[in-house]
Amino acid sequence: MRHFARAFQVIAKDVSESDNIVLSSWSPAAHASFQGVVFVKFVRDGCVLRPTQPLQDEVRGGFADLHSIGHPLSAMIQNLGSASLAARSLRPTAFAIPNVPRSRTVTSYRGVLAGAMRSYRIPLPRRENGKRTERLMDLLDEDDKWNPRIKLFLKSRSFLKKHPFLRLIALMATSLGIVSTSCFLCLIGLLAYDATTYSEKHIDRVPVQPLALNPSRGGPKNLKVARLLVGDEEDPEIAKLGDKPKLVIIGGGWGAMGLINSLETDRYHVVVIAPDNFNLFTPLLPSATVGTVETRSLIEPLRKLLARIRGQYLQACAVDVDFGERLVEVKSDNVNEESFYVPYDKLVISVGSVSNTHGVPGLQHSYQLKTIQDVREIRRKIITNLEHAALPSVKDEDERKRLLSFVVCGGGPTGVEFASELYDMIHEDVLKYFPKLLASEVSIHLIQSRDHILNTYSEKISKYAENRFLRAEIETILNARVKEITPTSVTYATKADKREHIIPAGFVLWSTGIAMNPLTRKLASYLPNQYHKHALEVDSHLRVKGAPLGTVYAIGDASTIETNLVDHLLDLVNKCDTNQDGKINFDEFELMIKQIRKKFPTAQVHIDKVRQVFEKYDADKDNNLRLNELVLMFEDISNRLTTLPATAQVASQQGKYLGWKFNRFQKPKILEAKEKNEIQEAELDDTFTDPFIYRHLGSLAYIGNSAVFDFGDKYGSFAGGLIAAYLWRSVYWSEQVSIRTRVSLMIDWIKRGIWGRDISKI
């Protein structure tokens, strides 16, 4: 009970003059509370300290008054099992000392006795051969030994304290009871919550616009134009979005998720077009191929993610874009259905990329790792090969070794992580449940066209991974290119000897770079100034070059930020040559540098020292840069600029950047300026927002119960064992798009740790 009040005021007289210390005053406080009151004689050197009769009468009178007025404290006095005394003492005593910060003591008779004796510096009797109880009895007067409660306390010794083993059992039983009770209460709570999720609501009338069911036709191909969708009018909040700008997002990957999660509610009428109705966490696909995690833990429905911003989803593929009329041509998976148009005010292309074939024949005999379907096919193939190799009908040793030969083409993060996960599965699960002969005959080969695996990481990380594979007996073939893939083998040639080598293979994974998505290739074919082979070129504001400014953006693997400064040379000269003499002096050069920094943020590091750059390319030392000198400078800077890597981290940052940009465009001040025609749509990006700047947060990869981290030149790299592997898990766990996937992922890791991987063929 949390009642803090002074219960006793002890006025002690000189003990040297009297055998008795008289408790001369009882001052019950209004908020003091007791579970019981016991008058105990306290002993000092054989002298009994007893309350006087007037004090006893005062206490009894106070309790009677409480009972007569029906005070709730009177009910607490019934139990005399223990004393709860509010104390003002630094020690847990039964008496109060004024002017000391309040505290509370809940104690038993034994505590009252011991505490009081300590407060008056009365030495407690030491235990001698278990006779402490008898010595305490001797200190009491004969008149007090009749009290049954005091007698029971003094004579009874805890049975459990005499038997430590039984006390341990009691403690374990109590702990088990607490855990069981907690689990039971949690179960009851879950069942109660589950009961509230069931509903018998009936939907009678749903408002639907006729144009949503029967769209009008239009566009260059005279297709149906879906200006209204089926769900646009069913909810008043969604209906309000009809007047907002329509933002169409093609794709549902990392870039799209970064954009969706960054958009503010009720800013845009968002429509997502993607062939799969879920977002896939691609970095953990290698783990899913061997059953370390389940595929359900890596996906989250797009409709759930769009619910926050009241967006719409269309399960279809975008096949073309009409930039003039702002129409996206969309086709469903059903080949018999007609294509239709989806209009847009702003379009974001986030379709990702496809695997690069490099012109190698026989790729139909290999597997790729980009989708959920790929994961399921790979998992089924691995288990099939293992089960087939265990059959008695496979008597040929070479055939069994071929079935158990796994070849990975590509030494990037995907290939390295898959080889590591496969090795862990073989030695942690196959060795336990399959014939041990299979585990001894399994071979893993990794073919890399560069000098090192993980060549985009630091050299330290690459060497660590190679040494790790060497100890694991994973064959790493460097400086080699695959020439052909057949159903039973892989042919490759090395740069050193130019000779072809053949590896018998029962499984081949192809993960050697990326190529343009069919949609981006089609758009690049008729857009001007699109010369990149692998992606759409965008400017520093992520606007697609050649498309109408301020309407079309591209992010993720579908885009690459331009690095060729020479294309902008004449425009910059015309803008910065203020005296129109055809030369750029130092003042004009400073203005040009500002424009370059704005258009090419990544060039900042190469033009930081303006005076040194100017003097370096001023060949004739006339304090002016002529056109030929500027061309040389622009070419040198362009050659030193690097494109951003095609990673999930880049796509996510670009999506978040666009979300921030689009939210800013809907600010009242900007909307008012647009209504007054004070600014055009094409000028919004340059006027109100800064260009995109990528901030590298590090790269990481899993390597067989260990992990590597590369944080760039500034922070260095890190490689380690199990602790690094758990850190790798923590990073990916934190990047999940929902709480559901986080919980599912954690459960998968726990299941793998307790029961191992799921080795069933599904």
The per-residue pLDDT for range 636-657, each reduced to its tens digit, is 888 888 788 888 999 999 999 9
- Dig out the tokens for 419 from the structure: 């080889």
682 vs 150: which has the higher pLDDT: 682
Q: Which candidate, 609, 608, 606, places its Cα nearest to that of 634?
A: 606
Q: How confident is the model at residue 572 (pLDDT cuts 50, 70, 90)?
A: confident
Q: Is residue 646 part of a domain?
A: no
Are 325 and 378 in a shared domain?
A: no
pLDDT at 198: 80
Are 456 and 478 in a shared domain?
A: yes
Q: Is residue 540 part of a domain?
A: no
pLDDT at 541: 93
Distance (Å, rounded) from C-alpha 483 to C-alpha 476?
Answer: 17
Mean pLDDT computed over 580-598? 86
Distance (Å, rounded) from C-alpha 547 to C-alpha 567?
Answer: 17
pLDDT at 93: 34
Instruction: Give me the residues paired with residue 317 across strands.
Output: 331
Mean pLDDT computed over 282-296? 95
631 vs 663: which has the higher pLDDT: 663
pLDDT at 25: 34
Q: Is residue 678 part of a domain?
A: no
Distance (Å, rounded) from C-alpha 255 to C-alpha 320?
Answer: 20
Strands 217-218 and 475-477: unpaired
Examine the pLDDT at 16 and tell me if it is beyond 90: no
Q: Is residue 688 part of a domain?
A: no
Contact 340, 547 (CB under 8 A): no
Q: Is residue 184 part of a domain?
A: no
Q: Is residue 166 part of a domain?
A: no
pLDDT at 50: 41
Are 350 and 396 in a shared domain?
A: no
Please report, for the domain that includes residue 612, its CATH number: 1.10.238.10
Are 340 and 393 in a shared domain?
A: no
At 36-79, the pLDDT tens digits run: 333 333 333 333 334 445 544 544 555 454 445 444 444 443 33
Q: Is residue 650 part of a domain?
A: no
Percent with pLDDT over 90 in the chain: 46
Examine the pLDDT at 170 and tell me if it is beyond 60: yes
Mean pLDDT computed over 97-102? 35
Are 118 and 225 in a shared domain?
A: no
Examine the pLDDT at 442 and tell me if it is beyond 70: yes
Mean pLDDT computed over 585-601? 86
pLDDT at 566: 85
End-to-end CA distance of the chain: 60
Please report, for the domain that includes residue 275, its CATH number: 3.50.50.100
Examine the pLDDT at 472 and tell me if it is beyond 80: yes
Mean pLDDT computed over 195-201? 77
Examine the pLDDT at 344 and tell me if it is beyond 70: yes
CA distances from 601 to 272, 546, 552, 605, 641 (A): 30, 20, 21, 9, 10
Are 223 and 348 in a shared domain?
A: yes
Are 337 and 371 in a shared domain?
A: no
Q: Is residue 761 part of a domain?
A: no
Q: How confident is the model at residue 236 (pLDDT cuts 50, 70, 90)?
A: confident
210 vs 509: which has the higher pLDDT: 509
Between CA 541 and CA 549, with CA 547 as vertex, the angle to 5 degrees is: 50
Contact 120, 94 (CB under 8 A): no
The residue among 354, 385, 400 that closes a domain is 354
Contact 360, 482 (CB under 8 A): yes
Examine the pLDDT at 20 and tell me if it is beyond 50: no
Residue 343: helix, strand or coil by DSSP? Answer: strand
Q: Kindly state the greatest CA–CA separation across the chain.
A: 122
Are 384 and 459 in a shared domain?
A: yes
> How many residues does this entry show for the chain?
762
pLDDT at 315: 94
Q: Would you state the torsion angle of the CA atoms of residues 132, 138, 140, 143, taken in this order, to the nearest 10 degrees?
A: 140
Number of domains within the chain: 4
pLDDT at 425: 94
pLDDT at 151: 54
Which pTM value belongs to this model?
0.76
pLDDT at 254: 94
Examine the pLDDT at 412 and tell me if it is beyond 50: yes
* pLDDT, averaged across the chain: 80
pLDDT at 14: 33
716 vs 238: which has the higher pLDDT: 238
3 vs 681: which has the higher pLDDT: 681
The three state secondary structure string of 344-383 is: CCEEEECCCEEECCCCCCCHHHCECCCCHHHHHHHHHHHH
The residue among 156, 188, 218 that closes a domain is 156
Q: How confident is the model at residue 673 (pLDDT cuts 50, 70, 90)?
A: confident
607 vs 279: which has the higher pLDDT: 279
Are 343 and 369 in a shared domain?
A: no
The residue among 354, 389, 412 that closes a domain is 354
Q: Would you state the torsion angle of the CA atoms of residues 418, 420, 426, 432, taken in this order, to the nearest 10 degrees?
A: -120
Are 80 and 143 in a shared domain?
A: yes
Which domain, by its residues, includes 115?
A: 42-156
Examine the pLDDT at 171 and tell me if it is beyond 50: yes
Are 293 and 393 in a shared domain?
A: no
pLDDT at 314: 95
Q: How confident is the model at residue 91 (pLDDT cuts 50, 70, 90)?
A: very low
Q: How confident is the model at residue 662 (pLDDT cuts 50, 70, 90)?
A: very high
Q: How confident is the model at residue 111 (pLDDT cuts 50, 70, 90)?
A: low
Q: At a CB cut-off of 8 Å and minimum separation 6, what does 686 contact? A: 541, 598
pLDDT at 122: 45
Instruction: Give me the residues paired with residue 329 across strands.
Output: 320, 341
Examine the pLDDT at 80 and tell me if it is beyond 50: no
Are 233 and 301 in a shared domain?
A: yes
Highest mean pLDDT among 39-43, 99-103, 385-389, 678-682: 385-389
Strands 699-702 and 707-710: antiparallel
- Dig out the tokens for 640 from the structure: 């030193």
Q: What is the number of alpha carbons within 13 Å of residue 131 lying toward its C-beta?
A: 5
Q: Which candidate, 297, 299, 328, places its Cα nearest to that of 314?
A: 328
